[in-house]
Amino acid sequence: MVIRSKKIAQMAENLAAHEMGKSHSLWADARRRFFKNKAAVISLIVLTLIVAFAFLAPYFTKWSNEEIDWAILGSVAEDGKPSFARGHFFGADPLGRDLFARVAQGTQISLMVGFVGAFIAVIVGTLYGAIAGYFGGRIDNIMMRIVDILMSIPYMFVLILLLVVFGRSIFMLFVGLGLISWLDMSRIVRGQTMVLKNKEFVEAAIAGGSTKFTIIVRHIIPNLLGIVIVYASLLVPAMILTESFISFLGLGVQEPNTSWGALISEGAGTVLYGTLWQLLFPLAFFVAGLFSFFFIGDGLRDALDPKDR
């Protein structure tokens, strides 16, 4: 649930020394470096497989994620084991629903939560940080004090409050997760923006009569891309972890929809009753997914960090 922002901040410093926007060779270089990183490449493959599973699995099973197999409903512990004969490749959940289909569906939701949450955080954080950094002075001062204040708020508690107050919905979850995570991003982006705005190409744009907004969107933000990508890649697993915690509290997505967190917490609760598969299959996807994100994130950072070149 925690991202090591200082490391990224350091990378931002290194990046600021370079000018990335239009230099294609830099990107090509980064790509080459990334694909040299074995762990990152394997992770990318694993992640691709997981995504493929999430969207293709429904075509390989006759069960949907909500259909109950009435024949085994009363005896899931005995007859709900993973079985090709019955068509339950991953076994059945406590209500006789097909776990294969449910894991696929839960994977979709968890990935969506991760990506959309990270997307919101990155957009808000980048814009906020770029504006504060570019305008500087009093605006910057006020905006950054606000960030300081928000950083001191115990967010998980506020998120629980939000979900309790406004009812559980996936929308609220996105808003809540997004709101938690943009603060670090905005600080890093602000710092880099302050360096960038004194560069020649920005001064050229100002001389050319571009508006401030255009300069931020056209010239500053594209140059922040490297840092944004790295940060986002680390945010995704953090989001997924947070969602799993929320699901454990019973504040996650609505039935019959599910998520990795919801499946794992259900499986962990019934582990005593001899239905181990209900925990292991979703947990395997969860762990594999998170590993992949971590390694890809690390790989991207190493690849995009110009320091060692």
Interface with other proteins by CB under 8 A: which residues?
1-7, 66-68, 70, 73-74, 77, 94-95, 145, 148-149, 151-154, 156-158, 160-162, 164-165, 167-168, 237, 241, 244-245, 248-250, 254-256, 261, 264-265, 268-273, 279, 283, 286-287, 290-291, 294
CB of 164 to other proteins, least distance (A): 5
CB of 222 to other proteins, least distance (A): 29
- The encoded tokens of residue 126 equal 């980048």
Question: How many Cα atoms occupy the beta-carbon half-sphere of 141 within 13 Å?
Answer: 2
Whole-angstrom CA distances from 102 to 88, 96, 260, 264 are 11, 11, 9, 12
β-partners of residue 78 are none
Q: For other proteins, which is the closer residue by CB, 223 or 244?
A: 244
Q: For other proteins, which is the closer residue by CB, 7 or 199?
A: 7
- The encoded tokens of residue 153 equal 């708020």
Residue 106 to residue 253: CA distance in whole angstroms: 10
Q: For other proteins, which is the closer residue by CB, 14 or 210?
A: 14
Residue 125 to residue 259: CA distance in whole angstroms: 26
CB of 49 to other proteins, least distance (A): 18
Q: For other proteins, which is the closer residue by CB, 193 or 265?
A: 265
- The encoded tokens of residue 250 equal 């019973």
Contact indicator for 261, 246 with CB cutoff of 8 Å: yes
Residue 100 to residue 84: CA distance in whole angstroms: 11
**Interior CA angle at 156 toward 154 and 159, to 5°?**
110
Residue 199 to residue 209: CA distance in whole angstroms: 16
- Tell which residue, 87, 152, 90, has the closest CA to residue 283: 90
CB of 102 to other proteins, least distance (A): 12
CB of 6 to other proteins, least distance (A): 4
CB of 212 to other proteins, least distance (A): 28
Q: For other proteins, which is the closer residue by CB, 17 or 149?
A: 149
Q: For other proteins, which is the closer residue by CB, 130 or 173?
A: 173
CB of 200 to other proteins, least distance (A): 29
Residue 23 to residue 16: CA distance in whole angstroms: 14
Residue 189 to residue 122: CA distance in whole angstroms: 10
CB of 208 to other proteins, least distance (A): 39
Q: For other proteins, which is the closer residue by CB, 215 or 267?
A: 267
Q: For other proteins, which is the closer residue by CB, 223 or 292?
A: 292
